[in-house]
């Protein structure tokens, strides 16, 4: 699923998400207030992100923060308030009676940020040459795969404004899935055709974060004006953006958006309170303080209810080897791949205390991979298994699996090996650091030693998705309404099947990679759910995926925090939601002086 103010995998690939809050830094040695005064004549919005983006190339991106929610649009989009699929770059579409042929008609007069026409040729190029091109390692392809054969749609130009998509079988989530960003053929086509010394398309190195903003050709409401590493990204209004209001005025109204890059949530709070930021995500630590200051600070705290994303702990279940060396210590791999071990860990985590302490009561227990807003979500009342805090149950499961306790009340396996593992998360995220600290304490009560280590974001994600050198981790994924947006998480071949990751294109091979029967079953159910057009039957299919997930626990779900943001009252026309956040409709927002 896709994350934050970005179109949460309406171009969603369930990519990694952050829960960070950030701060304004100086520009060219100036403090934030000086910068804002210098640009006071320009309508602007100052926001915050936790770390630098890793790429400006959408198909190669796997995580947030990223720029693409501001810079790109697709044929369709999903309204986070209504859940409806709405026209975006396409003004309309027609679906054949057999549901296998969909014809989109583009809006007239579309242009790229460099003023060149955006045409059907760009749509055909984007899909045939990039998303459907097996040489390009993109997670976007996972959500386009259809049926057991993982077939891909066929795309062809009909005329100057119409493009046809043909699919091999009915595919219920198609209209939402097709909302992937459209990319500029005139800027990228040559890089796809041209190969480097290793025979790979130079597209794979195109549009890195060192690319000047004026070379990034986009179609969204904003374009990148400037990127200062570890400091800020400045976006400028795209003068060729297609949207206009009812009076014919060009949108967006806000001329400039600034994302400041910092690593301290405490500093973010200070900068918001001093007026340096126009918005800040409201974490549990800061809610009470900010709530008291709403009137004085001239801002409003928006509460969208339970967040759409997930928080979880998970183990590296990969049994494979690289260069003859196991990815995970075989002793620990046996523990992690024992379902009773994972269930025991789930029972040993005191989530109520986690809600009361780390989340300050601003959250609820989480038991499903699907967002509570999704019509396919099933609750514990509907038969979803839960793991309420029960140390005795945890110990019984461990002993059933052959573990035992030594004379120091330490947990050991059948061979006498002390049960101890490392637990990672991203540094600077106080919520995840608090979660990790409590898990370390909770598991100590059942004799397990946890070595908890927060890492820099880039180091952390490299371990999870590239080197696969990790044992256990705390992470989160963004959510949404359509389960198939998580196909790249639940398909065993998916790019975000993180608990048992298959090497992706360009990565070193793995010997002995295995797929368990329950993994394969979830993957098959996702295929069935995508082809089923009857909503009641779809719900039953995805209900079964949730039941299997909760039985075998590839992800041990923790707490679903409330989705809250504080936004200056000078920002008008907000439509806050848990799915879209505060700025999903940024093209129609206004700021007053």
The verdict on residue 450 lying in a domain is yes
Q: What is the CATH number of the domain that holds 549?
A: 3.10.105.10
Same domain (yes/no): 332, 430? yes
The two tokens of residue 279 are 């918005």
Q: What is the CATH number of the domain that holds 171?
A: 3.90.76.10
Same domain (yes/no): 81, 180? yes
- What is the rounded CA–CA span in Å between residue 340 and residue 505? 34
CA distances from 225 to 69, 71, 212, 218, 259 (A): 15, 11, 8, 12, 12
The verdict on residue 142 lying in a domain is yes
Same domain (yes/no): 290, 260? yes
pLDDT computed for residue 40 by the predictor: 52
The two tokens of residue 210 are 């060192």
Number of structural domains found in the chain: 3
How does the average pLDDT of the chain come out, rounded? 91
pLDDT computed for residue 11 by the predictor: 36
Same domain (yes/no): 370, 230? no
Is residue 490 within 8 A of residue 497, CB to CB? The reply is yes
HSE at residue 441, side-chain half, CA atoms within 13 A, is 10
- What is the rounded CA–CA span in Å between residue 460 and residue 158? 45
Same domain (yes/no): 102, 42? no
Q: What is the CATH number of the domain that holds 228?
A: 3.40.190.10
- Tokens 């969603």 locate to 12
Q: Mark 155-179 as b/e (b = at least 16 C-beta within 10 Å).
A: beeeeebbbbbebeebbbbbbbbbb
- What is the rounded CA–CA span in Å between residue 103 and residue 106? 10
Distance in Å from the first CA to the final CA of the chain: 36
The verdict on residue 196 lying in a domain is no
For residue 92, give its domain range.
76-189
The verdict on residue 203 lying in a domain is no
Same domain (yes/no): 265, 176? no
The verdict on residue 180 lying in a domain is yes
The verdict on residue 59 lying in a domain is yes
The verdict on residue 11 lying in a domain is no
**Cα dihedral sign, 454-455-456-458:** negative
Is residue 488 within 8 A of residue 507, CB to CB? The reply is no
Same domain (yes/no): 553, 566? no
- What is the rounded CA–CA span in Å between residue 414 and residue 427? 35
The two tokens of residue 167 are 């699919």
Last residue of a domain, one of 139, 170, 189: 189
The verdict on residue 207 lying in a domain is no
- Tokens 């790429």 locate to 55
For residue 133, the surrounding DSSP H or E stretch is: none
Q: DSSP E strands: which ranges in 332-443? A: 363-365, 404-405, 411-412, 420-426
Same domain (yes/no): 265, 391? no
Same domain (yes/no): 438, 496? yes
- Picking from 54, 69, 57, 61, the residue whose alpha carbon sits closest to that of residue 4 is 69
Same domain (yes/no): 469, 391? yes
pLDDT computed for residue 265 by the predictor: 75
Q: Is the pTM of this model over 0.85?
A: no
CB atoms within 10 A of CB 34: 13
Same domain (yes/no): 351, 497? yes
pLDDT tens per residue across all 593 residues of the chain: 432 323 333 333 333 333 333 333 333 333 444 445 444 578 999 998 878 899 999 999 987 789 999 999 999 999 998 889 999 999 999 999 999 999 999 999 999 999 999 999 999 999 999 999 999 999 889 889 998 888 999 999 999 999 999 999 999 999 988 999 999 999 999 999 999 999 999 999 999 999 999 999 999 999 999 999 999 999 999 999 999 999 999 999 999 999 998 767 778 888 899 999 999 989 888 899 999 999 999 999 999 999 998 999 999 999 999 999 999 999 999 999 999 999 999 999 999 999 999 999 999 999 999 999 999 999 999 999 999 999 999 999 999 999 999 999 999 999 999 999 999 999 988 899 999 999 999 999 999 999 999 999 889 999 999 999 999 999 999 888 999 989 889 999 988 999 999 987 778 899 999 999 999 999 999 999 999 999 999 999 999 999 999 999 999 999 999 999 999 999 999 999 999 999 999 999 999 97
Q: Is 235 helix (H, G, I), strand (E, B) or coil?
A: strand
- What is the rounded CA–CA span in Å between residue 376 and residue 43? 41
Same domain (yes/no): 183, 330? no
């Amino acid at each position: 699923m896709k994350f934050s103010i970005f179109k949460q995998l309406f171009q969603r690939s369930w990519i990694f998400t952050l829960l960070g809050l950030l701060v304004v830094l100086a520009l060219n040695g100036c403090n934030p207030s000086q910068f804002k005064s210098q640009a006071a004549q320009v309508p602007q919005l100052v926001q915050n992100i936790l770390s630098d983006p890793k790429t400006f190339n959408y198909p190669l991106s796997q995580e947030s923060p990223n720029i693409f929610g501001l810079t790109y649009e697709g044929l369709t989009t999903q309204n986070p308030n209504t859940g409806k699929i709405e026209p975006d770059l396409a003004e309309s579409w027609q679906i054949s009676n057999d549901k296998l042929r969909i014809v989109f008609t583009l809006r007239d007069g579309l242009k790229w940020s460099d003023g060149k026409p955006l045409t059907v040729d760009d749509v055909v190029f984007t899909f045939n040459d990039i998303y459907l091109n097996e040489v390009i390692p993109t997670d976007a392809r996972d959500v386009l795969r259809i049926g057991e054969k993982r077939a891909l749609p066929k795309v062809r130009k009909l005329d100057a404004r119409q493009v046809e998509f043909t699919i091999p079988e009915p595919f219920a989530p198609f209209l939402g899935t097709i909302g992937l960003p459209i990319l500029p053929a005139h800027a990228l086509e040559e890089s796809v055709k041209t190969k480097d010394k290793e025979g790979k398309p130079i597209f794979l190195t195109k549009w890195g974060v060192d690319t000047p903003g004026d070379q990034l050709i986009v179609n969204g409401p904003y374009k990148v004006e400037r990127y200062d590493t570890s400091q800020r990204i400045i976006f400028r209004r795209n003068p060729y953006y297609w949207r206009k209001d009812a009076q014919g005025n060009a949108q967006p109204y806000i001329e400039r958006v600034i994302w400041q890059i910092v690593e301290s949530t405490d500093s973010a709070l200070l900068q918001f309170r001093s007026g340096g930021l126009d918005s800040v995500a409201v974490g549990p630590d800061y809610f009470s303080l900010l709530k008291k200051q709403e009137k004085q600070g001239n801002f409003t705290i928006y509460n969208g209810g339970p967040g759409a994303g997930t928080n979880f702990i998970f183990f590296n279940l990969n049994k494979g080897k690289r260069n003859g060396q196991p990815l995970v210590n075989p002793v620990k791999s046996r523990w992690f791949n024992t379902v009773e071990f994972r269930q025991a860990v789930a029972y040993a985590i005191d989530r109520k205390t986690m809600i009361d302490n780390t989340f300050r009561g601003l959250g609820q227990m989480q038991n499903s991979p699907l967002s509570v807003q999704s019509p396919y979500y099933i609750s514990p009342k509907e038969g979803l298994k839960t793991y309420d805090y029960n140390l005795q149950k945890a110990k019984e499961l461990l002993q059933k699996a052959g573990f035992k306790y030594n004379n120091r009340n330490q947990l050991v396996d059948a061979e006498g090996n002390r049960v101890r593992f490392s637990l990672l998360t991203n540094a600077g995220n106080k919520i995840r650091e608090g979660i990790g600290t409590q898990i370390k304490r909770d598991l100590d009560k059942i004799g397990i030693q946890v070595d908890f280590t927060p890492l820099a974001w880039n180091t952390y994600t490299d371990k999870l998705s590239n080197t696969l050198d990790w044992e256990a981790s705390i992470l989160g994924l963004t959510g949404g309404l359509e389960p198939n947006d998580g196909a790249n998480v639940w398909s065993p071949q998916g790019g975000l099947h993180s608990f048992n990751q298959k090497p992706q294109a360009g990565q070193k091979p793995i010997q002995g990679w295995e797929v368990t029967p329950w993994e394969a079953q979830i993957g098959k159910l996702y295929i069935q759910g995508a082809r089923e057009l009857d909503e009641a039957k779809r719900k039953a299919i995805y209900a079964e995926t949730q039941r299997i997930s909760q039985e075998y626990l590839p992800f041990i779900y923790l707490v679903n925090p409330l989705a809250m943001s504080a936004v200056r009252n000078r920002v008008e026309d907000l439509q806050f939601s848990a799915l879209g956040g505060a700025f999903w409709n940024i093209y129609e927002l206004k700021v007053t002086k």
